[in-house]
Amino acid sequence: MGPGMMGYGGFSTVGGGILIHVFMLLFWILFIAGIVLLVRWVWDSVGERKNGTAGGERQQDAREILKQRYAKGELSREEFQTMKQDLE
């Protein structure tokens, strides 16, 4: 019999055949994990745009939090001015 008659291209089902199955299983696990991560990344980025936390709006939120902390007395005037300059 030729090399392609038994097993996968001459590999026996005990040695090389098992290795092929392991690599195939590893491939599908990585492929599915990649799809899950891609969907999660898209979902998170769409959620950020819906909530208004993307880009410049995050900067505005940080300024508002800084103003609130200053109003509560958690920050001194110098700390407030320094942090405000850092955000600009």
Per domain, the residue ranges of the chain are 1-52, 55-88
Q: Which residues contact 52 (CB under 8 A, 6 or more apart)?
A: none
> pTM to 2 decimals?
0.42
Q: What is the DSSP code (8-state) at residue 75?
A: S
More confident residue, 58 or 82: 82
Residue 27: the pLDDT is 97
DSSP state of 8: B
pLDDT of residue 3: 54
Q: Do residues 66 and 83 touch, judged by C-beta distance below 8 A?
A: yes
